[in-house]
A and B are shown apart, each in its own frame.
Chain A
Amino acid sequence: MSEKVNIVNVGTKIFYEDLVLQGQDVVQVDWVPIANGNKEVMNLLDRYLDDPKVAQANQKAVNKIMQGQPVLVDIGLAKDMIPGFDSHTVLHAGPPIEFERMCGTVKGAIIGALLFEGLATTEEEALSLAASGRIKFAPAHSFNAVGPMAGIISASMPVHVVENTAFGNRAFATVNEGLGKVLRFGAYDDSVIQRLHWIKNEFMPVLKRALALVEGGIDLKLLIAQAVQMGDECHNRNKAATALFFKEIMPYLLKSGCELTKIEKAMDFIRTNDHYFLNLSMPAAKSMLDVAEGIEYSTVVTAMARNGVDFGIRLSGLGKDEWFVAKAQMVRGLLFSGYSEEDANPDLGDSTITETLGIGGFAMGASPAITQFVGGSVADAIGYTEQMREITTSENRSFSLPPLDFAGTPTGIDALKVLNKNILPIINTGIAHKLPGIGQIGAGLVNPPLDCFIEALRAYDKKYHSK
């Protein structure tokens, strides 16, 4: 046959090399079995990969996500702001988990929350109350809320209220306490509890009055878009976003009519915490993703979260509170000096909501500064973002990435593509010490366990195969 052949060699390199020897155009595929070589999973996958119903549903899901308009509208106590929240509700990060199975960091934060609420006066009392069954533990996600690391939210904690004005839904997150000894890393000594009280009694009222003055609230989508162009990925790096937020809110803080010393302290609190915006980017992402839940046939991932023991994901086309869980992984990365891998807690926190939206690890290609923090090179970071395009449904033009020729962030993780490409979502994240109260000991990269996606596919098939 005289037509020119173009060859793809799938498998052993020997044949590739001899084709190169013949001067041929040949592409090598260093093939890897998908789904750990599980044929049952491959067969399930093949049922849906080319199904137009699935493709349409995913497009619909991703369109809804991208249409979202997250706006910071208010701050208030969890029990006042979050529907269904009572005095004994305590929310935690990640998928559901019983108190007994929780990791040290989360248990520490729960002790702190119970002390802060006045439900216990000592560590022992707090522990026995937590174990008594009288505290209603639930994933923050079940209440449209998200929390970094331990992610503990109790009744009297102030929460940012983010409204997705395009759809009218709301999402919530606490105020970021800063670094070091903080509740989200499981610390509960006096300094931690006092700071929580200060946030509630002094900081919240100032911000609440300031926000009341901002007409239409503060547009978080715009801030994220700008910050991403300034080198943030809005998960581990929020320097630019926090500065932008500070610039926006400052005039209103000054106009709030509060005592000047209180305003000064509130401004200092935001100005000196480069992670302040994390607790805004997270509920912003949450509010955008929540509207993509419950779309029949959609295989788009609507949440990824960890509780320090398990990693869980949710799919649009499956139940709202249906989690697919597997053991949380250890984060691969750089540790601060003085700490070793034995000190690290497994992957923890709801902050993977940023990756679920397509920022965080997915936008790392536009955040060269973060690569030094989590390890690896700038080229690696750009590679990660490009790779994430392979497992997502679309790109979000609202968040465009200059180093990738202004491509949008990869958006709408498709569980089918994750399995079929054998590419797991990339997450860049902090590493918590496994003992309560020590804090962050490093940062790095981690993936969800493959089994989450396999379990999700099995459940999906169970629901949709007979249809």
Chain B
Amino acid sequence: MEKRTLIYKNRYVDSVSLMSLGSKVKKEEGIIEAVVAMATDMNKEILALVGLATDESTDASANDLLIAVVAEELSQLEAAFELIESSLASSGGKTKGKDSSKVYRQIEQVIEDDIKPTVAIISIPGKYAARETKKALKYGMDVLIFSDNMTIEEEVEVKTLAAHQHQLVMGPDCGTAVIGGVGLCFANEVTRGDIGIVAASGTGAQEVMVQIDRLGGGITDVIGTGGRDLHISVGGLMMLEGLRRLEEDEQTKVIVCVSKPPANEVKNKILQRVKQINKPVVICFLGNKEVVTDEGNIHYASSLFEAAKIAVELSTNQSIEVKHEDQDLTLYEEVKGKYAVGLYCGGTLCYEALDQLGKNFEVKSNLGHGEQEYQKNDESVHILLDLGDDEYTNGRPHPMIEPTLRNDKILEYAQRNEVGVVLLDFELGYGSHNDPVGETILTIMEAKKLAANNQRTLAFVGYVCGTNKDKQGYERSVNALKSAGVLVAKSNLEACQLVSSLVGGSTHE
């Protein structure tokens, strides 16, 4: 066994790049362990735990890059370091601007070069995000904060600041927005049209925009607010600002509003505002347990798909007939009565599945509360896991960026006798992995084989959230899944219905 630890003084690389690189290196032949990280106290601890700490690494500071690799053979160790070096070299530098060779380190430098950005995307460690956000606001920009771990006090501060000047602060922890037709972070390439979306959830917004596109509608803007915006202390500041933007936007004819059910006080404030808008507004409070009825310009939707459908109907002034494509489930009689496991990359899609399946089944999920709360040893129950949750990513990139981390889970559950159905989502679009289906397909086949060896039938239900205009290709992804024997649904809602049919019971309206 060969090991080596190197410190690169004063070489800062963002954590997402480092995590991706770390995962890439670990996949190389003969690599037993690889740590590619900034030398923060936490990372130094990890290094010590795996026995790779050196005197130099102990002295290193948070601006120093730390690389440690354990390989079976020296040549593999060398190869790993070469790979790391070349990847880091290619990620460094190239910026487009006034001077193409210039590397910017701070927002001020961009401004000093007379470049006038209108939007800033911020994906730096959360504790520094508020400061950069304030700078971007000062220079008149709308801001999308992808970073999480910003305190709620900071969130209130920056959003209050922004709201005063009618600027947007989307986030923290906001993954999806489309501004002026440009997809920021995780967004799908969809037809332009007259439906605007303001959403407190990332994949929720993606599902609505994708379904609008599929139903023949089109979108203007998608404004993300970050999941905490409707928290009582933030009070929906950006949901209100987003609504204002879409209200003023001449091209927007229909507005869709997506979030989990907010606290009453905030909900009333939002509804109050919505009522003043001279445009139809579709509201999807996902997981809402209260009975709601449409009134005035407000149209309620109970699922993401339905929100899209109503919006398109309002936009085109034509009702849409939803055709259910009958899938042949005769092969899967055996799974009836068994349990389903949903392994989700998209958090809101998982939440929607919990809402849908929870109506008829006992379901446990890491997104659930009370009776639905998932415990580590839960079995003999339907399980839905949001693998984008911190406890699963554990320092690795989000599964939408790096879907391979789900593969181990697929194999784990495939081997459980009581499991009959595995439900998987695949997000296409900007920001996401270049081929999420391709990264998973071999694992699906392997899982099926493992089950077959055990004389079990294992059904796979898949949903691809994307369009044919997305860089990964929708048709291509769907066909690959179908040829691997996966039952492919047209929406997340339909995927849930399919799962219900398979294990017994039904959520068909």
Interface residues of chain A, those whose CB is within 8 Å of chain B, are 1-15, 18-22, 24-34, 36-37, 39, 42, 46, 390, 420-423
Over the window 121-159 of chain B, the binary record of Cβ atoms lying under 8 Å from chain A Cβ atoms (1 yes, 0 no) is: 111110110011000100001000011000000000000
Query: Does B110 make an interface contact (CB < 8 A)?
Result: yes
Q: Which residues of A contact B97 (CB under 8 A)?
A: 27
Q: Which residues of A contact B221 (CB under 8 A)?
A: 1
Q: A3, B431: Cβ atoms under 8 Å?
A: no
Q: B180, A3: Cβ atoms under 8 Å?
A: yes
A185 CB → nearest B CB, Å: 28
Interface residues of chain B, those whose CB is within 8 Å of chain A, are 12, 14-17, 20, 61-63, 91-97, 103-110, 112, 115-125, 127-128, 131-132, 136, 141, 146-147, 179-180, 182-185, 189, 220-221, 245, 249, 251, 401, 430-431, 471
Q: Which residues of A contact B109 (CB under 8 A)?
A: 29, 390, 421
Known contacts: A5-B119, A8-B110, A30-B104. The answer to whether A22 contacts B182 by CB under 8 A is: yes
B74 CB → nearest A CB, Å: 27
CB nearest to A26 among chain B residues? B96
Q: From DSSP, what is the main secondary structure of chain A's interface residues?
A: mixed
Q: B108, A30: Cβ atoms under 8 Å?
A: no
Q: A33, B128: Cβ atoms under 8 Å?
A: yes
The answer for the CA separation of A6 and B128 in the assembled complex, in Å, is: 23
Q: A18, B14: Cβ atoms under 8 Å?
A: no
CB nearest to B92 among chain A residues? A30
The answer for the CA separation of A46 and B61 in the assembled complex, in Å, is: 23
Q: B110, A27: Cβ atoms under 8 Å?
A: yes
**Which 6 pairs of residues, A with B, have the shortest CB-CB distance?**
A11-B123, A12-B16, A8-B117, A18-B430, A5-B180, A32-B12
The answer for the CA separation of A420 and B104 in the assembled complex, in Å, is: 13
Q: Which residues of A contact B124 (CB under 8 A)?
A: 10-11, 31, 33
The answer for the CA separation of A30 and B116 in the assembled complex, in Å, is: 17
A347 CB → nearest B CB, Å: 16
Q: A10, B132: Cβ atoms under 8 Å?
A: yes
Q: Which residues of B contact A2 (CB under 8 A)?
A: 180, 249, 251
> Which of the residues B14, B104, B249 comes within 8 Å of A12, measured between beta carbons?
B14
A207 CB → nearest B CB, Å: 45
CB nearest to A11 among chain B residues? B123
Q: B91, A7: Cβ atoms under 8 Å?
A: no
Known contacts: A6-B119, A29-B107, A421-B109. The answer to whether A11 contacts B95 by CB under 8 A is: no
> Which of the residues B118, B123, B131, B132 comes within 8 Å of A15, measured between beta carbons?
B123
A-B contact pairs, 30 of them (CB 8 A): A3-B118, A5-B180, A6-B115, A6-B116, A7-B184, A8-B119, A9-B121, A10-B121, A10-B136, A11-B146, A14-B17, A15-B123, A15-B185, A22-B430, A26-B96, A27-B104, A28-B94, A28-B96, A29-B104, A30-B12, A32-B12, A33-B12, A33-B63, A33-B124, A34-B106, A36-B62, A42-B131, A420-B106, A421-B106, A421-B109
A11 CB → nearest B CB, Å: 3
Known contacts: A12-B17, A422-B106. The answer to whether A7 contacts B63 by CB under 8 A is: no
The answer for the CA separation of A80 and B332 in the assembled complex, in Å, is: 105
Q: A5, B118: Cβ atoms under 8 Å?
A: yes
Q: Which residues of B contact A3 (CB under 8 A)?
A: 118, 180
Q: B105, A15: Cβ atoms under 8 Å?
A: no
> Which of the residues A11, A18, A25, A42 comes within 8 Å of B183, measured between beta carbons?
A18
